Amino acid sequence: MSYQKRTAALASVAALAGSAVFMAAPAARADVVDVNYKCQTPIGVKTAVSPIDIKGVKSGSGYKLTMSWQKGVSSSPVELGKGAMSPSATIKVGGADSGTVSVSGPANAAAIPANTPIKINDLTGTYTPKASGKVTFTAAILTIKALGTTTTCTPTNSPGPSLTLDVTAAGGSSGSSGSTGSDTGTDSGGTLPKTGPDDSVIALGTLGGTVLLAGAAGTLWLTRRNQTARARR
């Protein structure tokens, strides 16, 4: 094979390898999902839409889940003083596993004015896998307790998962990779790598670049070898 053909072939292999890195990305992705809530309050039915974000951090044999609301939901006809409102919620587990995860959080740190959308603090809970594979996490029922009353907010728009993880149950093997979901990590308990679209592209681009650099190094080696062979002639 001529020098030019070898160089072209090597460049093609490097490019294909870089593409393979993108195709073999781990299944982990977080989506901010709009949830339409119908809230049964002491003064009647109220509706609200809030983008919901769920993140996961590996913690021992399970995951610490954090559920975040980007907009307020429901409201109160009277002011809610500091510490008067206590929120909790459930997250629906689907895919390779099933069930719900209960999450809760602190009471309001500041007074909430009357007739103002109630901003929910981040709620946290622990999920322990019972099965291995790709597991989804979807916003479910939100409960707000305040001034001796209970408001229950239920999603009405069948929202999609806010988080999908490839998990491994205790003593099991990991599930197959897929193309959806959010943060995954190791048993070290550290923060899971962010896996939003931008972070994924950056990470995969770095890996692809490594493959291409390896291809470039091979091309340089072939070039020097060819020049050495010609010099010896």
Instruction: Give the pLDDT confidence score for residue 48 in this predicted structure.
Output: 87
**The pLDDT value given to residue 18:** 45
> 164-210: per-residue pLDDT in tens?
999 999 876 443 333 333 333 333 333 333 333 444 333 334 334 43
- The residue behind tokens 């099933």 is 98
C-alpha torsion 165→170→175→179, nearest 10: 10
pLDDT digits (tens, 9 = 90+) for 10-64: 445 444 444 443 343 344 567 899 999 999 988 899 888 999 999 999 999 999 9
Tokens 């709009």 locate to: 34
DSSP secondary structure of 8-67: HHHHHHHHHHHHHHHHT--SEEE--EEEEEEEEETTEEEEEEEEEEEEEEEETTEEEEEE
Q: Can you tell me the distance from the alpha carbon of 156 to that of 47, in angstroms, rounded to the nearest whole number?
A: 10
Listed in sequence order, the residues at least 6 apart from 17 whose beta carbon sits closer than 8 Å to its beta carbon are 211, 212, 215
Note the pLDDT of residue 4. 58
- Does this model's pTM top 0.85? no
d(CA 150, CA 10): 67
Say yes or no to pLDDT of 216 above 60. Answer: no
| pLDDT at site 170 | 83
**Residue pLDDT, tens place only, 49-101:** 999 999 999 999 999 999 999 887 877 888 999 999 999 999 999 999 999 99
Mean pLDDT of the chain: 73
| Residues facing residue 54 across a β-bridge | 67
CA pair distance 60, 131, nearest whole angstrom: 16
More confident residue, 9 or 163: 163
Handedness of CA 190, 57, 98, 28 (dihedral sign): negative
Convert the pLDDT of each residue in 124-148 to its tens digit. 999 999 999 999 999 999 999 999 9
Pair 80, 147: CB distance under 8 Å: yes
At what angle are helices 3-23 and 197-232 packed, to 10 degrees?
A: 160
pLDDT value at residue 85: 92
Instruction: Check if the beta carbon of residue 86 is closer than 8 Å to that of residue 107.
Output: yes
Amino acid at 196: G
Pairwise CA distance, residues 167 & 170, whole Å: 10
